[in-house]
Each structure stands twice: as structure tokens, then as C-alpha cells.
């Protein structure tokens, strides 16, 4: 059983600034309080293709993800490791991130895809963020009998975190805008 959620948000900031803000999202000290569930972010690999202007990055995210009490009984841990794979296409001005969980892969698969593109109606000044999250409980796993409840809880958590993430992004964009404004 798969649940998929789509969200879209328009940032009234140019794509260059929004994509740069995305890199800073988890590390920004002021915003760590809001995204306190993100414990560590490490860059595992980065490759720049100097011919095509494509930047490939792999990052490891360690997240504090306490679930409902019954999950903790089965899993016994609150830490979730995820892999984030990103491609930034400098030529076409597009950034795509895909994040998947490593932890508990046997039980549940969560995949989050985010895209940042220039807004079609205002490509030089605005950016569209499209986010799609899919949550799938693996059949025959210990969680299968309560799949719907778990998926629902996960989805709620993801929505809450998405809102926080957007809030942080908007702050960083405003900060970067102020920094770049002529004195």
C-alpha cells in the first residue's frame, strides 16, 4: 500500500538564491532550533561535471524520528538514517533532490522528491518548489497489519516537517537577499 502526497510552493526569490538556500537549510545555526529533528548532515560524495555544468551530490542525513509507541516497541530506536541524492543542472537551472530512508528499509520505504525550478510565469525572479512524498509499508512485515495507521502518522510528521522546512528556506532566502542588497 502506497500513500503519496504532493505539495507545491512558490518562493518569490530567484532560483539561484533558493537553490543556494537549500544547501544551507540544515546547517544554518539559527534555524537548527526549528529543524531540530535533523541531527547530522554529512556530504558523502560530490562530483562536478565541468562539461555539462551538472553537480551531483550524495549526503547522509541522521534524523531523530520518534514514532508512535508501538513502533518503538518493534524497532527499538529513534534514529533514522537517510540518503539524499541531488542533481543541480546549472545550464537549465534545475535542482532535484531525492531522499530515501536506509533505516527500517525492510519495513517501510519513504521517498521524498523535491524539485526547484524557475517559475514559468516569472523565471528570473520566482522559483517553484514541487515536493512529492511517498510512503510504503512493505507487505508481510511486522508493520503490515497496522500499515494504514503508520502511514498516516508518518505522513502527518512529514507534512509538519515540510512546513518547517519551507519556513527555514524563506528565512534563509530573505537573509541572503538582504546580504546582497546594495548598501
Partner 1 sequence: MGLLKKKDSTSTRSSTSPCADLRTAYHNCFNKWYSEKFVKGQWDKEECVAEWNKYRDCLSENLDGKILTRMLEVDSELNPTKQADSKESSR
Give, rounded to a whole angstrom, the gap between the first and last alpha carbons of the chain.
Answer: 55
Residues 87-126 that bind partner 1 (CB under 8 A): 88, 90, 98, 100, 102, 105
Rounded to a whole number of angstroms, the minimum distance from the CB of residue 145 to partner 1 is 26
C-beta of residue 121 within 8 angstroms of C-beta of residue 10: no
Helix (H, G, I), strand (E, B) or coil at 89: strand
Residues forming beta bridges with residue 117, ordered by sequence position: 128
Nearest to partner 1 of 92, 145 (CB atom): 92
Size of the site for partner 1 (CB under 8 A): 38
Q: Taking CB under 8 A as the rule, does residue 142 contact partner 1?
A: no
Interface residue with partner 1, options 8, 43, 77, 144 (CB under 8 A): 43
Interface residue with partner 1, options 2, 4, 10, 27 (CB under 8 A): 27
Rounded to a whole number of angstroms, the minimum distance from the CB of residue 42 to partner 1 is 6
Nearest to partner 1 of 44, 163 (CB atom): 44
Nearest to partner 1 of 115, 149 (CB atom): 115
Q: Taking CB under 8 A as the rule, does residue 174 contact partner 1?
A: no
Cell readout for 155 is 505522513
Residues 6+ apart with CB under 8 A from 123: 15, 93
Closest CA to 112 of 128, 91, 131: 131
Per-position b or e across 17-49, b if 16+ CB within 10 A of its CB: bbbebbbebbebeebeebbebbbebeeeeeeee
Rounded to a whole number of angstroms, the minimum distance from the CB of residue 80 to partner 1 is 11
Residues forming beta bridges with residue 119, ordered by sequence position: 122
Cα–Cα distance measured from residue 80 to residue 158, given in angstroms and rounded to the nearest whole number: 13
Q: Taking CB under 8 A as the rule, does residue 33 contact partner 1?
A: no
Q: What are the residues binding partner 1 (CB under 8 A)?
A: 15-17, 19-20, 23-24, 27, 39-40, 42-51, 53, 55-56, 58, 60, 62, 64, 79, 81, 83, 85, 88, 90, 98, 100, 102, 105, 176
Amino acid at each position: 500500500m502506497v500513500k503519496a502526497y504532493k505539495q507545491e510552493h512558490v518562493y518569490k526569490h530567484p532560483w539561484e538564491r533558493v537553490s543556494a538556500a537549500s544547501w544551507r537549510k540544515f546547517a544554518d545555526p539559527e534555524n537548527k532550533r526549528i529543524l531540530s529533528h535533523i541531527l547530522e548532515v554529512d556530504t558523502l560524495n560530490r562530483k562536478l561535471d565541468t562539461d555539462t555544468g551538472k553537480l551531483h551530490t550524495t549526503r547522509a542525513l541522521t534524523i531523530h524520528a520518534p514514532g508512535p509507541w508501538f513502533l518503538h516497541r518493534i524497532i527499538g530506536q529513534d534514529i533514522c538514517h537517510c540518503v539524499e541524492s541531488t542533481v543541480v543542472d546549472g545550464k537549465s537551472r534545475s535542482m532535484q533532490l531525492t531522499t530515501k530512508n536506509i533505516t527500517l528499509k525492510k519495513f517501510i520505504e519513504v521517498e521524498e522528491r523535491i524539485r526547484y525550478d524557475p517559475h514559468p510565469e516569472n523565471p528570473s525572479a520566482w522559483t517553484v518548489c514541487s515536493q512529492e512524498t511517498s510512503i510504503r509499508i512493505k507487505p508481510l512485515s511486522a508493520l503490515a497489519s497496522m500499515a494504514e495507521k503508520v502511514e498516516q502518522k508518518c505522513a502527518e510528521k512529514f507534512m509538519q516537517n515540510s512546513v518547517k522546512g519551507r519556513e527555514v528556506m524563506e528565512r534563509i532566502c530573505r537573509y541572503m537577499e538582504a546580504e546582497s542588497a546594495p548598501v
